[in-house]
Amino acid sequence: MNKAEKVQFAIKKLEEFYPTIPIPLDHKDPYTLLIAVLLSAQSTDVRVNQITPKLFAKADNPTDMIKLSVDEIREIIKPVGLSPMKSKGIHGLSHILLEKHNGNVPQSFEDLEALPAVGHKTASVVMAQAFGVPAFPVDTHIQRLMYRWGFSNGKNVVQTERDAKRLFPKEKWNDLHLQIIWYGREHCPARGWDVSKDIITQTIGRKSVLKKYGY
């Protein structure tokens, strides 16, 4: 198989595994998605989904969020980790949304990435899932699978994102980003990986990776 054939094989199998794609983070609108994605940094979606109902019961919009103190936000979100930075970011970006964007989440990468504690990955998730703009956020699962499948060198997320956007059709980016995450979690994890149950990597994976895991 050449690389183009491997890409098409991966797309086909991912669509078979995930014809309908669950959204990992619970949210109801762009603002709650933005907050949930910010909270997910160096945490798990499961943990975030346990915490956000408590936070959003008190404040699910910028107006109510700035009525809370940074310490109050920090106390609620403490279980997800990095709470000092995240609580300041949530409070600060809520102020900016009210002051500069009429309380709305902006629909551009530039404006999103200008918000406190919002990096490129968070902005990409919001643009893709809230506004349907093609994006390819790279998390640890995508970084791992793009390397194992021989689609990227795995050096950094910037290069992996470039490679993903180059290899995959733009109209499929938003679906594939989530499909690869789910596949990574369920079939190609970082730990406890059973290669015999991972049909995509068996078929198209790097020989060096397969050899390392005795396959």
Q: Is 132 left (phi over 0), alpha (psi -120 to 50) or beta?
A: left
Maximum Cα–Cα distance across the chain:
58
In sequence order, which ranges of the chain are alpha helices (DSSP H)?
3-17, 30-39, 45-58, 62-65, 70-77, 83-100, 109-113, 120-131, 140-148, 157-167, 173-187, 199-204, 207-212
Structural contact between residues 164 and 3, judged by C-beta atoms closer than 8 angstroms: no
User: Tokens in use for 84?
Assistant: 């000092």
Question: Cβ contacts of residue 125 below 8 Å, gap of 6+?
Answer: 33, 37, 135, 137
- The dihedral over CA atoms of 27, 28, 31, 33, expressed in degrees to the nearest 10, equals 20
Number of neighbours of residue 118 by Cβ within 10 angstroms: 21
Please identify which residue in the block is written with the tokens 């970011």: 89
Which of the residues are catalytic? 121, 139
